[in-house]
Amino acid sequence: MAYVDEVLASVKAKNANEPEFIQAVTEVLDSLRPIVDAHEEEYRKVGLLERLVEPDRVITFRVPWTDDNGNVQVNRGYRVQFNNAIGPYKGGLRLHPTVYLGILKFLGFEQIFKNSLTSLPIGGGKGGSDFDPKGKSDAEVMRFCQSFMTELYKYIGPDEDVPAGDIGTGAREIGYMYGQYKRITSQYQSILTGKGLSYGGSLARTQATGYGLLYFTQEILKLNNIDLAGKTVCVSGAGNVAIYAIQKATQLGAKVVTCSDSTGWVYDPDGIDVAVLQEIKEVKRARLTEYKNYRPNAVYHEGRGVWVTKCDIALPCATQNELLLEDAKNLVANGCLGVFEGANMPTTLDATKYLQENGVLFGPGKAANAGGVATSALEMSQNAERLSWSFEEVDQKLQSIMVNIAHNCDEAARKYGHEGDYVVGANIAGFEKVADAMIAQGVY
Ligand code: NDP
Ligand code: 2IT
């Protein structure tokens, strides 16, 4: 049996209750076949793939907190420290009721290759909790965050593990967690990124994932002689990544006609108004049903359905497995040219295959959304030198990182005979550096 198949079979057997993790590993290992086949003996000898698919460690803990009625609630907290071959563990904290170990293992595993692609020295990790910030008061969110950090602080450090935001974890949550870390340790350290600008955060980190997605998209389109300006774009999601993807796409001359949240989606024929979206989501923390109150030409639909809309470019920016085979068929039938993932693993494996087989350019999340974590690493650099760079300086660096990732994916795919397959390109380009470092550092 081929080495990849042996390891895949073992991952499936050992992690049978973690379908998202199996999905992520399957995508990565399948596309690493060309490079693994070329180095099979060397990799087998050091158990490279077996080590790569097993996290360095998984930490789980109880998170008790008191709600506004005085009742004690208990959530489960996690940190998955997946791989630190090329730098300290780095990756976000997800707060969502669907969080369980399988989700965080898939995200931590993806993060290894994503972080390597940034060309910055960061390893892969992820964490979070099944806590749902929606519908909670600020005081409840604060008490949860303080309790979460009271355990997490033992396992993180500026050269050890540096968490950040993800779904459900934004500026408010990072602030409460940072405050609690400082209170426990008396240390003013770079142990979180996505911090507020008044206490060590980087300019442009808020915008970075969405902006980076567009810089990457624009570069891949350019490599294929397609101009982004004038194109119609569909975005899903209405959170951090979606909002700044819509803003940058609009600045670059495209028209974004959709966005969505977990209850429904909006079609705005005049182009989504980012200021309105920010008011609804960032200020009021409200539902998208409100959008049509500000924009009478817009239509609100209950449930899922963004991908029925005709578009040139699709940017899934909400969550995993939100773009299914039937959606891929709709996109192809409507003449879509490219799908670029702002979220992590938003496209199912069969949908990805269908899109690629039908000539749709496909930018996988670990490349396309790497701008967020790249800018987090820039925040760590600024903290280390106790300086802060201007918005323009960070944005410039972000642009060149994303252009570089696009070229590296393109070249790696070409080198291994899969020209234009950016899934193969991203996985191989991300894997190479991690594999080298793991081999050089011996068996551990
Ligand atoms: P936010 O919490 O800011 O926004 C998430 C958005 O997706 C919301 O509109 C939310 O709707 C929607 N959503 C979340 N879960 C579901 C679900 N199960 N079904 C339908 N809609 C859902 O998160 P981010 O924008 O930060 O993250 C979005 C995606 O991007 C995630 O996959 C994340 O891992 C990825 N990512 C984030 C980065 C970052 O820097 N923040 C960096 C790289 C990737 P509702 O509010 O109704 O729940
Ligand atoms: O999925 C991701 O890359 C993130 N949520 C950002 C992680 C980070 O450390 O900035």
Q: Which residues pair with 66 in a beta bridge?
A: 72
Percentage of residues in the chain having pLDDT higher than 70: 100
How many whole angstroms separate alpha carbon 234 and alpha carbon 242? 10
Give me the pLDDT at residue 427, please. 98
- Whether 20 lines ligand 1, by a CB cut-off of 6 Å, is no
How many whole angstroms separate alpha carbon 77 and alpha carbon 95? 9
The distance from CA 191 to its chain's CA centroid, rounded to whole angstroms, is: 19
Measured in Å, residue 2 CA sits from the centre of ligand 1 at: 37
Q: Which atom of ligand 2 is nearest to the CA of 373?
A: 10
Is residue 126 among the annotated active site residues? Answer: yes
- What distances in angstroms separate CA 363 from CA 275, 388, 400, 425, one per listed residue? 27, 31, 17, 10
Could you report the per-residue pLDDT of 334-380, keeping only the tens digit for each?
Answer: 999 999 999 999 999 999 999 999 999 999 999 999 999 999 999 99
Give me the pLDDT at residue 274, please. 98
How many whole angstroms separate alpha carbon 94 and alpha carbon 97? 9
DSSP β-ladder status, 232-236 and 338-340: unpaired
Exposure string (b/e) for 277-314, b if CB count within 10 Å is 16 or more?
Answer: bbebbeeeeebbeebeeebeebebbeebbbbbbebbbb
Give me the pLDDT at residue 171, please. 97
Q: What SS3 class is residue 120? A: coil
- Whether 241 lines ligand 1, by a CB cut-off of 6 Å, is yes
Which residue ranges in the chain fall short of pLDDT 70?
Answer: none
Taking residue 21's Cβ as centre, other Cβ atoms within 10 Å add up to 26
Widest pairwise Cα distance in the chain: 64
Give me the pLDDT at residue 51, please. 98
Give me the pLDDT at residue 162, please. 99
Give me the pLDDT at residue 200, please. 98
Give me the pLDDT at residue 415, please. 96
How many whole angstroms separate alpha carbon 300 and alpha carbon 91? 34
Give me the pLDDT at residue 230, please. 98
The closest residue, in CA terms, to atom 10 on ligand 1 is 261
Measured in Å, residue 124 CA sits from the centre of ligand 2 at: 10
How many whole angstroms separate alpha carbon 319 and alpha carbon 311? 20
Give me the pLDDT at residue 286, please. 96
Sheet hosting strand 361-363, strand order edge to edge: 299-302, 264-267, 255-260, 232-236, 313-316, 338-340, 361-363
Give me the pLDDT at residue 195, please. 98
Q: Which of 126, 136, 248, 281 is catalytic?
A: 126
- What distances in angstroms separate CA 132 from CA 67, 97, 153, 278, one per listed residue? 13, 5, 21, 21
Contact 338, 217 (CB under 8 A): yes
Give me the pLDDT at residue 110, please. 98
How many whole angstroms separate alpha carbon 160 and alpha carbon 181? 15
Give me the pLDDT at residue 167, please. 98
Could you report the per-residue pLDDT of 304-313, keeping only the tens digit for each?
Answer: 999 999 999 9
Copy the structure tokens of residue 186: 């008396």
Give me the pLDDT at residue 264, please. 98
Element (H, E) at 378: helix 371-384
Measured in Å, residue 272 CA sits from the centre of ligand 1 at: 18
Contact 295, 268 (CB under 8 A): yes
The conformation of residue 273, written as its DSSP 8-state character, comes to: -
Taking residue 153's Cβ as centre, other Cβ atoms within 10 Å add up to 18
Give me the pLDDT at residue 255, please. 98
Q: Which residues pair with 259 in a beta bridge?
A: 266
Q: Work out the end-to-end distance of the chain between its first and last CA atoms, rounded to an integer number of angstroms.
A: 25
Copy the structure tokens of residue 44: 């087998």
Residues 6 or more apart from 250 whose CB is under 8 A from it? 256, 271, 272, 274
